[in-house]
């Protein structure tokens, strides 16, 4: 199951060049893995097209669509008592935007920080950043330097606690660095959809994630170098409760129909060794 196009994504982020020893070493490893695999499962059609177009030697027949899926749990009611918001001193009258997961260079954390700084005096919105990553402490220092009090940074939570926290959030954030030339499909998108949260995605121009979001009608999208567009999406969700509820419900319905783990089981059952 192919989730990351490594080492190309490191080139996109400027971590090393195509002529570097690092790239050449891991590119050889990548090609070898593709060659010995009986099948390669790609998370989306854009993933599949990229893999085939950039690896001409591959047998196309063994490259399949094998999307990331989830066991869809029964949804608990939205927690209007705000137990965890009160625990973490998050304003209960604000619209809470959640970024959950890795906070590294691929996630365009500087872009998110710029939005938080620009909205630091907007009382209707608050941001919760949950997880770890190479950019976490640097972003915290940047936000604190700018006097931001409209965000909370938390370490990884136990799964049960995180699920409770998600049920007190209003909008899920997805970010991908705009410099990517490889199509990514962040798995956290499915978590947001499972919990009936609308999605606000700021991405590169090659991922087909926005097409899925548009088809599901479960969120808003922009490029991750369009700060005004991103802020506009934040404010639109903050001002329109009905939009949040409708898009959240749409996402839940779409993931139940298209991304339940049973879809993966059926694909695997239909595969025969070549």
Residue 16 lies in a domain: yes
Residue with tokens 């959030």: 169
* Residue 77 belongs to some domain of the structure: no
In this structure, the answer to whether residues 145 and 197 fall within a common structural domain is yes
For residue 146, what pLDDT is reported? 96
Greatest CA span in the chain, whole angstroms?
Answer: 60
pLDDT tens-digit series, residues 196-206: 999 999 999 99
Q: Based on the structure, what is the number of domains in the chain?
A: 2
- What is the extent of the structural domain holding 114? 83-258
Are residues 95 and 223 part of one domain?
yes
Same domain flag for 50 and 110: no
Q: How confident is the model at residue 137 (pLDDT cuts 50, 70, 90)?
A: very high
The verdict on 155 and 224 lying in the same domain is yes
Q: Are residue 198 and residue 93 in the same domain, yes or no?
A: yes
Residues 173 and 231 in one domain: yes
Phi, psi (5° rounding) for residue 200?
-115, 110
Q: What is the pTM of this model?
A: 0.91
CATH number at residue 90: 3.40.50.2000
State the Cα–Cα distance between residues 184 and 208, nearest whole angstrom: 8
> Are 17 and 146 part of one and the same domain?
no
Which one of 34, 65, 96 terminates a domain? 65
Indicate whether 272 pLDDT > 70.
no
pLDDT > 70 fraction of the chain, expressed in percent and rounded: 99
Q: Are residues 43 and 115 in the same domain?
A: no
Alpha-carbon distance values, 116 to 99, 234, 272 (Å): 12, 10, 50
């Amino acid at each position: 199951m192919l989730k990351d196009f490594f080492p190309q994504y490191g080139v996109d982020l400027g971590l090393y060049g195509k002529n570097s020893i690092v790239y050449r070493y891991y590119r050889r490893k990548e090609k070898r893995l593709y060659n010995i695999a009986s099948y390669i499962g790609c998370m989306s059609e854009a993933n599949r097209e990229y893999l085939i177009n950039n690896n001409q030697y591959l047998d196309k027949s063994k490259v399949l669509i094998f999307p990331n899926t989830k066991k869809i749990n029964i949804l608990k009611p939205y927690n209007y008592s705000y137990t965890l918001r009160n625990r973490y001193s998050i304003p209960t009258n604000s619209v809470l935007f959640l970024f959950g997961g890795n906070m590294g260079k691929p996630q365009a954390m500087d872009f998110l920080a710029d939005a938080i700084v620009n909205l630091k005096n907007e009382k209707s919105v608050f941001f919760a950043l949950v997880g770890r990553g190479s950019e976490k402490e640097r972003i915290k220092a940047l936000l604190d330097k700018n006097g931001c009090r409209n965000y909370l940074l938390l370490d990884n939570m136990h799964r049960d606690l995180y699920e409770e926290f998600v049920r007190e959030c209003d909008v899920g954030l997805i970010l991908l660095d705009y410099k990517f030339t490889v199509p990514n499909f962040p798995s956290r998108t499915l978590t947001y959809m499972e919990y009936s949260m609308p999605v606000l995605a700021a991405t590169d121009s090659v991922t087909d994630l926005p097409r899925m979001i548009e088809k599901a009608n479960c969120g808003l999208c922009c490029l991750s170098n369009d700060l005004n567009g991103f802020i506009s999406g934040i404010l639109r969700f903050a001002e329109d409760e009905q939009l949040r509820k409708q898009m959240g419900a749409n996402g839940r319905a779409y993931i139940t129909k298209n991304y339940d783990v049973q879809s993966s089981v059926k694909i695997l059952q239909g595969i025969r060794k070549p």
